[in-house]
Amino acid sequence: MSKAAADAIEPQLKRFFDVVIETVSKTAKNAIPLLRPITYIVKVNGDINIDFVVQSRDPNVVIRAFAGDFTEISKQVDELRNRFDAEMVQFLLDEKEQWRFNYLLTRDGKVIGSKMSYDRQAVLLGEMEAKAKEKLKYIPDKANAADEN
């Protein structure tokens, strides 16, 4: 029974990988600007939604990432689902081409993330705060303007 199911899925899986390879290759070749990494996000929806995020200009890195063995990821997702009642989990591909947990969202709306995800968020918030302060410098203070008149 499982062999028949695997044989039925095999052509679809092959077509899926053909589409992924073609899309990744064309995107890497034609994306502008040419020096900036491209972010690829593959979403797997099911009982628990999983995002796989790869940032790279090299199409071979992206293709290898999705052609690998996902047994360990599957075990990790099951553990996160059981332990935290996870609804969504995100993994990032690191410099060593290994999938690393980034963050998860629980069914009751809590977010649990890796230190790396919090560090990136802190940098982004700092940049946003600096931009807001810079814009506020150029807005005249209405109270001070009224006092001057």
* Whether residue 8 has pLDDT greater than 60: no
Question: Which ranges of the chain would DSSP assign to H, the alpha helix?
Answer: 2-30, 59-67, 71-84, 115-137, 142-148
Q: What residues contact residue 16 under an 8 Å CB cut-off, 6+ apart?
A: none
pLDDT 10s digits, 88-121 = 999 999 999 999 999 999 999 888 887 666 566 6
CA angle 71, 97, 79 (to 5 degrees): 35
CB 28 within 8 A of CB 48: no
CB atoms near residue 120 (< 10 Å)? 13
pTM beyond 0.85: the answer is no
Domain boundaries, the chain: 2-113, 114-149
pLDDT category at 1 given cuts 50, 70, 90 is very low
pLDDT at 2: 45
pLDDT at 137: 73
Residue 137 or residue 88, greater confidence: 88
